[in-house]
Amino acid sequence: MMDWTDRHCRFFHRLISRQTRLYTEMVTTGALLHGDVARHLDFSDVEHPLALQLGGSEPADLAACAKLALQWGYDEINLNCGCPSERVQRGAFGACLMAEAPLVADCVRAMRDAVDLPVTVKHRIGIDRVESYDFVRDFVGTVAERGGCEVFVVHARNAWLQGLSPKENRDIPPLRYGFVQRLKQDFPALTIVVNGGVVDDAQIAEQLQGVDGVMVGRQAYHHPWAMADWDARFLGAGAAAAPQREAVEAAMVDYLAGLAASGQHWPNASRHMLGLWNGTPGARVWRRIWSDHRLRADGPVAVARAASLERRGAAERLEFQVA
């Protein structure tokens, strides 16, 4: 998710779930080959397992970026064939690549030949008004057979390349989970991961009856505490103790203080944790204080102290009223 799942966001999410696989925001091949590589690829060791999501359509360029991913220590390379934005279309990658399955296969093969890392593909179930299951089945089959891809992350909506914004493309095209489940039935040896519209643990459990995995995006960003029991419930952590919100907040404040001490703009990182207390008494005032630009000069430790005091006070007042 562009401008969302940066390294600060991923550090925060890793405090909540130790085992969930995290993905970077999409990075274009041009940004890596002609820009500041370290700015795009640096990450904290705690973020593993971590996948680098690439945007591009030139096999040689993607192979070169795959080598950078290996050099930086990523665990997976994910090729984006699902983004519908006009800017991405002008670059001839993203969802429009679904119309060129042989090219996608060549891109995957080039990366697999360049590095010994898993190369996966994220895509939609179709583009524009092509709503036939055969289209996505043939896309997956071609990329798997010719490119050697073994893992497909499938957003269970079409991408309408004309007439809808990226936001509308996340809501208006209907969800067709049945297409994703049929992919698993038709390609049982492949790993099929569903994406789109999943908002709670019950839906995750339901989806896992028919596919191998579930990717959760914006729901996890806005309600990050939903991830707190995923390690134990879905990822084999057993009876491992779930984290406590206060401990996660304290660890994130320490992280922000480190950024501030090094001269970095720490509010750019604190924005990612604004949903930490969502759904609990005092969450609104806590979020308001962290968002108040007038307090930023005081530093993250002082802001955290003020936000926690106000949140607890609001919670106590509510309990008193209820009692």
- Which residues are catalytically annotated? 83
The CB density around residue 102, as the number of other CB atoms within 10 Å, is 11
Torsion-angle region of 3 (φ positive above 0: left; ψ -120 to 50: alpha; else: beta): left
Hey, which residues does 80 pair with through a beta bridge? Answer: 122
Using alpha carbons only, give the angle 85, 90, 91 rounded to the nearest 5 degrees.
100
Hey, which residues does 152 pair with through a beta bridge? Answer: 121, 192
Structure tokens at 250: 């304290």
